[in-house]
Amino acid sequence: MSRIVLKSVMHKGETCDVLISGRRFSKIGGLKPKDYEKARVVDCAGLAILPPFYNGHCHAAMTLLRGYADDMPLQEWLQNHIWPFEAKMKPKDIEIGSRLAILEMIKSGTVFFSDMYWHREQTMKVVKEMGIRATIGVTFAQGLMSDEGIEANFKFLADRRLESDRVKLAVMPHSPYMVGEELFRRCVKVAEGEGMILHTHLAETKKEVSDCKKQHGCTPVELMDRYGVLGGNFVAAHCVHLSDSDMALMAESCSAVILNPCSNLKLCSGIPKIPKMLESGLLVGIGTDGASSNNNLDMHEEMKLAALLAKATGRADTLPAEEALRMASFNTAIAYGLEGGLISEGFLADALLVDLGNERLNPCHNLVSNWVYSADSSSIHSVICNGEFVMENRHVDGEEDIVREAELCAKRLA
Amino acid sequence: MSRIVLKSVMHKGETCDVLISGRRFSKIGGLKPKDYEKARVVDCAGLAILPPFYNGHCHAAMTLLRGYADDMPLQEWLQNHIWPFEAKMKPKDIEIGSRLAILEMIKSGTVFFSDMYWHREQTMKVVKEMGIRATIGVTFAQGLMSDEGIEANFKFLADRRLESDRVKLAVMPHSPYMVGEELFRRCVKVAEGEGMILHTHLAETKKEVSDCKKQHGCTPVELMDRYGVLGGNFVAAHCVHLSDSDMALMAESCSAVILNPCSNLKLCSGIPKIPKMLESGLLVGIGTDGASSNNNLDMHEEMKLAALLAKATGRADTLPAEEALRMASFNTAIAYGLEGGLISEGFLADALLVDLGNERLNPCHNLVSNWVYSADSSSIHSVICNGEFVMENRHVDGEEDIVREAELCAKRLA
């Protein structure tokens, strides 16, 4: 088993050594001389170790559409710009777009993402290559898919052959308005049988909620309850427009919510009711959504925005820095069944090393506060995932080629 | 006169050469052979030139209080934490805090700030040293100052001896609740006589507005009108709680508003009504406020947040990327009487060079959209102010010492 010692790293205000054995943290401080034997010892003086980000909802390959169509109403955006572009995307393009996405995520401190998109094989391949984690969706969307496509999805889920230690499949019916009751119930059954996460878009816009009430006589969350979807393996993205009883239903069933505040503001979907969610006891994580509605995959920005919006709609002491960081790391990790997001013995060895000399982390009255409210990606020195460095000293292997290939690919498609 | 040629730089989608003569852009493209004579030619292949940020409202030396007290109600924050810390700050500390602030601003692409704080001589000195611009306030706050202090302020304003090409004084009565009618009228008279900007906090919280109505029978903006404050040299920070008629009054009088959205959300002051401000024809710029309520001086974050909040409270096409960038650059510059914020012949040679190879600026369907919605400071390669490089290839002279000195100073004060 590979062993790494992070030497003289700052952890919760103390300088200590951290031992990583294989894919987990095995000692935080208190190392004995034999712990250093056969270990790679990395000098971390001047660096602090922090939990990395887990991106609870995105559409990775949409990086290719970054900035392609902005500042326009939702329907014009989708129908005249996004869908025609996407229609031209081939599996190879998905691979290129996913690679750019993962590069961007690593550079901004993210070690995991949940992906809802097409051509999942390509994205799975790139995740394996680049060393981070992902839960990759098998996406269901009636109207956009043939019956054969739907059956092929279920076959792919049963097969599971491309999964690995770091890459898991999940069942992802797009939304209650794109997937009907019968198909939703099949999805639930498969997710339960395979022990998989079930992920969907939910209550993103006011229109979705009022349409649902008209059509089904209940809210989208109540509809999910009726279909048997709610439960510990259910993770819902957006949830901007939840009623108090929706929140109670989700909290009681141990369902999780993933906030996507940048996207919700940019597309004029609304401001999530974070203070009420916190009061309800809901498990709340954070995601970025796709790069065509954000327009990046920077979890730090989402974390800060969630903390700010929580205060703006609550009180100045709502969602303090420690809790905002927890949302973007630990909460999102456990929503997806990962023992990550804490720098703690026994946890997955996923971490950031941040540069304590960065001007935005100084002076250092409170590192977590500085990290959440002041820093940006410029302070991220290195990123560790599953016990291995995926970025060291700000550089990711092959990054120039990844960017160049994406630029050429996007030009071809545009 | 010093001459710089930025060679092969990307400008509005075209590669061209840019000539800077002295402190202004003299040619954007179309250079002749003699333009290169006696010029420093800087290879800018792979870089794009963009307008830099002008920070319309901050309290620079408060970087020393970054993260010192977060996530608490306003009164507890001010009375139990901020004011006792500030009471210990000596002129030398202001110098150290201002230096850290300016370093952070340069690294995040800002070439100008408007400062309302104490010990202005120290801040003026550091601005001169570090090569950027500032409008430095002579701050008036009754209750916090003696009558002698107020008279000394007026003497300092009349004297003007520390001003320079890049550093100007302004008259800064703190707010209508900290400065009474008589003193406000004196401030107006001096600002008019000296041709100076008049800057104040205005309509930041609901409480301020309701207190003002109780005490004076009118809104804070109406009170400013009554005092004769409104006009082309008046710049008001915050303005979260303006009525429609407040906006009309300010727009008609050519007064300017500086938004500080991060601070307003974080302190639970509210969400500014950006769509209505835009409709009213008001000149709207952007600022960061101080690092104890933000907690950084990153104008890029403010710009993106303003664009997002404008959409969330308006429509998906409100405040498009180009206009958001204009707010944070040109609008703020002209509010302070500076011919800056545009990469245009005759304008002040203030600019950013951004790295087109940065993953967040790729693919490049639309550079301005990528810059506003996707980038962070990691893509800023160099910063030019007044025809000189203040940062080249991501490095500011002496930055390690500036950070170290600030850390020691804050430890001493905390």
Find the CB nearest B100 among A108, A357, A362: A362
Closest CA to B360 of B371, B349, B345, B344: B371
Q: Are the Cβ atoms of A268 and B320 closer than 8 angstroms? A: no
Q: How far apart are CA B272 and CA B262, in angstroms?
A: 11
Report yes or no: B78 at the A interface, CB cutoff 8 Å. no
The stretch B114-125 carries a mean pLDDT of: 96
- Residue B334 · residue B195 · CB < 8 Å: no
pLDDT of B78 higher than 90 = no
Contacts of A291 in chain B (CB under 8 A): 374
| Mutation to test the A interface, candidates B68, B71, B289, B367, most A Cβ within 10 Å | B71
Report chain B residues whose CB lies below 8 A from the CB of A369.
Answer: 67, 70-71, 295
DSSP string over B268-315:
T-----HHHHHHHT-EEEE----TTSSS---HHHHHHHHHHHHHHTS-
- A62, A66, A356, best to mutate vs chain B, most B CBs in 10 Å: A66
Contacts A72 to B, Cβ<8 Å: 316-317
> Residue B342 in contact with residue B51, Cβ under 8 Å?
yes
Asked if the model's pLDDT at residue B74 lies above 80, the reply is no
> What's the rounded Cα separation, in Å, for the pair A304 and A292?
20
Phi, psi of B180 (to 5 degrees): -85, 175
What residues of chain B lie within 8 A of the CB of A73, using their CB? 315-317
CA distance, residue B340 to nearest chain A CA (Å): 26
pLDDT exceeds 80 at position B174: yes
Contact B365 A65 (CB under 8 A): yes
Distance from CA of A267 to the nearest CA of B (A): 5
Q: What is the percent of chain A where pLDDT is above 70?
A: 100
User: Cis link prior to B295 (omega < 30° from 0)?
Assistant: yes
Q: Which residues of A touch B317 (CB under 8 A)?
A: 71-73
The closest of A126, A124, A130 to A160, measured between CA atoms, is: A124
pLDDT tens per residue across span B276-310: 999 999 999 999 999 988 899 999 999 999 999 99
From B296, which residue of chain A is nearest by alpha-carbon distance?
A374
Contacts of A366 in chain B (CB under 8 A): 67-68, 70
Best mutation target among A10, A68, A71 (most B Cβ atoms within 10 Å) is A71
> Peptide bond preceding B176: is omega within 30 degrees of 0, i.e. cis?
no
Residues on chain B touching A402 (C-beta within 8 angstroms): 359
Does residue A316 belong to the interface with chain B, where contact is any CB pair within 8 Å? yes
3-class SS string, chain B = CCEEEEEEEEECCEEEEEEEECCEEEEECCCCHHHHCCCEEEECCCEEEECCEEEEEECHHHHHHCCCCCCCCHHHHHHHHHHHHHHCCCHHHHHHHHHHHHHHHHHCCEEEEEECCCCHHHHHHHHHHHCCEEEEEEEECECCECHHHHHHHHHHHHHCCCCCCCEEEEEEECCCCCCCHHHHHHHHHHHHHHCCCEEEEECCCHHHHHHHHHHHCCCHHHHHHHCCCCCCCEEEEECCCCCHHHHHHHHHCCCEEEECHHHHHHCCCCCCCHHHHHHHCCEEEECCCCCCCCCCCCHHHHHHHHHHHHHHCCCCCCCCHHHHHHHHHHHHHHHCCCCCCCCCCCCECCEEEEECCCHHHCCCCCHHHHHHHCCCHHHEEEEEECCEEEEECCECCCHHHHHHHHHHHHHHHC
A55 forms beta bridges with A113
Q: pLDDT, tens digit, for every residue of A25-65? A: 999 999 999 999 999 999 999 999 999 999 999 999 999 99
Is the Cβ pair B68, A365 closer than 8 Å?
yes
ipTM of the complex: 0.97
Per CB-CB distance under 8 Å, the chain B contacts of A357 are 400, 403
In this prediction, residues A9-28 reach a mean pLDDT of 98
pLDDT at B72 over 90: no
**CB-nearest partner of A267 from B65, B71, B316:** B316
Q: What is the mean pLDDT of residues A92-116?
A: 98
B24 touches chain A (CB under 8 A): no
CB contact at 8 A, A336 and A135: yes
Residues of A in contact with B238 (CB under 8 A): none
The residue of B76, B304, B362 whose CB has the most chain A CBs within 10 angstroms, and thus the best one to mutate to test that interface, is B362
In chain A, the residue whose alpha carbon lies closest to the alpha carbon of B322 is A71
pLDDT for res B121: 96
> Which residues 167-226 of chain B have a CB within 8 Å of chain A?
none
How many Cβ atoms sit within 10 Å of the Cβ of residue A401?
Answer: 11
B26 in contact with A, Cβ within 8 Å:
no
Provide the pLDDT for residue A74.
75
What is the signed CA dihedral for B345, B346, B350, B356, rounded to 10 degrees? 0
Cβ–Cβ below 8 Å for B265 and A100: no
The confidence score (pLDDT) of residue B79 equals 87
Q: Evaluate whether B328 touches B53 at the Cβ level (below 8 Å).
A: yes
pLDDT band of B4, cuts 50, 70, 90: very high
Which positions 361-380 of A are in contact with B (Cβ < 8 Å)?
A: 362-367, 369-370, 373-378
* A74 contact B CB<8A: yes
Q: What is the C-alpha to C-alpha distance for residues B109 and B103, in angstroms, rounded to an integer?
A: 10
CB nearest to A376's CB, from B317, B376, B400: B376
Is the full-model pTM beyond 0.95?
yes
Taking an 8 Å cut-off on Cβ atoms, the answer to whether A67 and B364 are in contact is: yes
Percent of chain B with pLDDT over 90: 95
Per-residue pLDDT tens digits for B367-393: 999 999 999 999 999 999 999 999 999
Per the CB < 8 A criterion, the answer to whether A123 and A134 are in contact is: yes
Asked if the C-beta of A320 comes within 8 angstroms of chain B's C-beta atoms, the answer is yes
**Contact (CB<8Å) A363/B267:** no
Q: β-pairing, A380-385 with A351-355? A: antiparallel
What band does B73 get if pLDDT is binned at 50, 70 and 90? Answer: confident
Is any Cβ of chain B less than 8 angstroms from the Cβ of A84? no
Query: In whole angstroms, what is the distance from residue B316 CA to residue A343 CA?
Result: 40
Model pLDDT for residues A341-354, shown as the tens digit of each residue = 999 999 999 999 99
β-strand pairing of A47-50 with A351-355? antiparallel
Query: Which pLDDT score, from 0 to 100, does residue B166 have?
Result: 98
Q: How far apart are CA B69 and CA A366, in angstroms?
A: 9
Average pLDDT over residues B182-200: 98
Q: What is the pLDDT of residue A143?
A: 85
Q: How near does any CA of chain A get to the CA of B283, in Å?
A: 21
Cα distance from B325 to chain A (closest Cα, Å)? 14
pLDDT, mean of residues B304-320: 97
Task: Mention every residue, 6+ apart, whose C-beta is less than 8 A from residue B279.
Answer: none
Tokens representing B378 are: 């990691």
Cβ–Cβ below 8 Å for B406 and A65: no
- Residues of chain B in contact with residue A302, where contact means CB-CB under 8 angstroms, are none
B262 with A359: Cβ contact below 8 A? no
> Any idea what the Cα angle at residue B305 is, between residues A335 and B74, rounded to 5°?
85
Q: How would residue A379 be classed by pLDDT, with cut points 50, 70 and 90?
A: very high
Chain B residues 106-135 with a CB less than 8 Å from chain A: 107-108
Nearest CA in chain B to A73: B316
